[in-house]
């Protein structure tokens, strides 16, 4: 059995759509359809009920999907057994990083890639919730972000704890206050992460819990963009502590731990993944001491 056809089938089964599977596999929908038909011909069974705009698994198709999961886990273990020498790491490694964290992790992932040039690494920037979905679907090997809960079969390793900091221009009225409440913050325009970002969900939850509305805000994609907007005088914002620049002459950062608490940033992966040495080395490279 061709593993490539089996992998294509697995993507279609999990997405229920040729178009969505084509997006992740970067091949055309007709090419995927041909692979599925060939697989059905080889097995002598029907794998999908074809309905308008949706494919649903037949009973035999569901059985094949369950067994295919075990096959891919076995392949992962096999690769780990063969490539137990760090210098011999080959293959592909796909990483999804929370959309508000790339600036912090890119240098570490780049350093890891330079040590293992034969390992082809792809990095996607996605909201933490979407990164988890990609991992469950098999579209990525590991995901990094804020994951309060993970499903069974997924392992989680904490990389570090961080906190949200309020950043304001150095000449801003709030920069002179010793203690700042969310009500104080809501009086000004707030620069926020996009609604799908984990950091945004933390901020929204805190304001909602305290019954405070943010009726003057701008949305941007990353902590770096928030810092740029604040330095330009377009408002005040919340960023991860780890994303603060070393030199902060034009802005002041304020501890908001009382309002938001600490945030655990973790790397998650399937249990079979942990058996492969290249993944373990990646996890070790990303863990922040202390």
Per-residue pLDDT tens digits for 169-195: 988 999 888 889 999 999 999 999 888
**Whole-angstrom distance, CA of residue 245 vs CA of residue 227:** 9
Residue among 68, 78, 63 nearest 7 (CA): 68
Q: Which pLDDT does position 112 carry in this prediction?
A: 83
Domains of the chain listed by start with CATH number: 1-82 (1.10.10.10), 161-263 (3.40.190.10)
Query: Percent of the chain, pLDDT > 90?
Result: 16
111-138: average pLDDT: 85
Q: Three-class SS of residue 237?
A: strand
The pair of three-digit structure tokens given for residue 269, joined into one six-digit string: 């992966």
| Average pLDDT estimate for 238-255 | 82
Confidence at residue 274, expressed as pLDDT on a 0 to 100 scale: 61
Q: Residues of the chain with pLDDT > 70: what percent?
A: 90
pLDDT of residue 83: 53
Q: Provide the pLDDT for residue 104.
A: 78
Structure tokens, 113: 């890639």
pLDDT for residue 11: 81
Question: Residue 100 has which token pair?
Answer: 């508000």
Residue 250 pLDDT: 82
pLDDT digits (tens, 9 = 90+) for 27-47: 888 888 898 899 999 899 999
What is the mean predicted confidence (pLDDT) over 144-164? 86
Distance CA(266)–CA(279), nearest Å, equals: 14
- pLDDT band of 289, cuts 50, 70, 90: low
What is the pLDDT at residue 230? 92
Who wins on pLDDT, 63 or 21? 63
Give the span between the Cα atoms of 204 and 208, in whole angstroms.
6
Q: What is the pLDDT of residue 184?
A: 92
**pLDDT at residue 245 is higher than 70:** yes
Lowest mean pLDDT among 21-25, 58-62, 255-259: 21-25
**What is the rounded distance in angstroms from the CA atom of residue 217 to the CA atom of residue 235?**
8
| Contact by Cβ (8 Å): 253, 227 | no
Which residue is listed with tokens 């309905």? 51
Contact 286, 108 (CB under 8 A): yes
Q: Which residues contact 275 (CB under 8 A, 6 or more apart)?
A: 76, 77, 80
Q: Of the ranges 51-60, 88-97, 195-204, 258-267, which one carries the lowest mean pLDDT score?
A: 88-97
* Cβ burial, residue 237 (10 Å; 0-12/13-18/19+): buried
Cα distances from 3 to residues 7, 250, 255, in angstroms, run 6, 55, 51
DSSP state of 54: E
pLDDT value of residue 76: 64
Q: Quick one: average pLDDT of 120-143?
A: 87
Q: What are the pLDDT digits (tens) for 63-112? A: 888 888 778 777 766 665 655 554 545 677 889 998 777 777 888 888 88
What is the predicted pLDDT for the residue at 5?
A: 86
Q: Which helix (H) or strand (E) holds 23?
A: helix 18-25
Q: Model-level pTM?
A: 0.63
- Please say if the pLDDT value at position 243 is more than 90: no
């Amino acid at each position: 059995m061709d593993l490539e056809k089996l992998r294509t089938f697995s993507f279609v089964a999990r997405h229920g759509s040729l178009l969505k599977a084509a997006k992740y596999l970067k091949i055309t929908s007709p090419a995927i359809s041909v692979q599925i038909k060939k697989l059905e011909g080889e097995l002598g069974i029907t794998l999908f009920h074809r309905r308008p705009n949706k494919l649903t698994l037949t009973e035999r198709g569901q059985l094949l999907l369950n067994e295919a999961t075990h096959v891919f886990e076995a392949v992962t273990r096999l690769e780990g057994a063969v490539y137990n020498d760090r210098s011999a790491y080959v293959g592909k490694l796909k990483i999804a990083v929370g959309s508000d964290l790339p600036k912090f992790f890119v240098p570490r992932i780049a350093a890891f890639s330079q040590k293992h040039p034969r390992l082809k690494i792809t990095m996607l920037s996605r909201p933490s919730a979407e990164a988890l979905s990609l991992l469950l679907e098999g579209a990525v090997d590991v995901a990094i972000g804020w994951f309060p809960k993970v499903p069974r079969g997924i392992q989680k390793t904490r990389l570090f704890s961080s906190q949200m900091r309020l950043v304001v221009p150095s000449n801003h009225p709030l920069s002179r206050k010793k203690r700042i409440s969310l009500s104080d913050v809501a009086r000004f325009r707030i620069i926020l992460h996009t609604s799908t970002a984990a950091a945004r969900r933390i901020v929204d939850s805190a304001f909602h819990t305290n019954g405070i509305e943010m009726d003057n805000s701008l949305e941007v994609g990353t902590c770096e963009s928030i810092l740029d907007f604040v330095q330009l005088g377009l408002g005040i914002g919340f960023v991860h502590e780890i994303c603060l620049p070393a030199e902060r002459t034009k802005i002041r950062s304020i501890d908001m731990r009382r309002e938001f608490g600490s945030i655990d940033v973790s790397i998650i992966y399937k249990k079979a993944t942990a058996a492969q040495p290249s993944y373990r080395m990646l996890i070790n490279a990303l863990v922040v001491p202390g």
